[in-house]
Amino acid sequence: MQHRHLNQQTFTLAAIDDVIARGGRVDWAELRMAVLANPLLLEKVLTVCLAHVADPYAQRYHFWKHYAERYLA
């Protein structure tokens, strides 16, 4: 899936938000591989997720928030 704000596979905050919000399993796997290759992306993932976790129905963001916190610890 082509995501907006994703230029040459650069995971900006907007690109991460788009992948989490609109992406499917393949897109999430790509984000996970990018995070494994560059752990500094975990901070960006956490930043994006913290903006959305006030909504208890934003389950995608809750999932990625917990993922990022687990691997940042």
- Count of domains observed in the chain: 1
Residue 31 has pLDDT above 90, yes or no: yes
Q: What is the pTM of this model?
A: 0.85
Residue 60 has pLDDT above 70, yes or no: yes
> Looking at the domain assignment, is residue 67 inside a domain?
yes
16's tokens: 């991460």
- CA-CA-CA-CA dihedral for 44, 2, 30, 57, to nearest 10: 60
> Looking at the domain assignment, is residue 26 inside a domain?
yes
In a 3-state reduction of DSSP, which class is residue 36?
Answer: helix
Domain that holds residue 26: 13-72
**What pLDDT shows up at residue 8?**
53
**What pLDDT shows up at residue 2?**
53
> Looking at the domain assignment, is residue 19 inside a domain?
yes
Backbone angles phi, psi at 27, to 5 degrees: -65, -40
> Looking at the domain assignment, is residue 7 inside a domain?
no
> Looking at the domain assignment, is residue 39 inside a domain?
yes
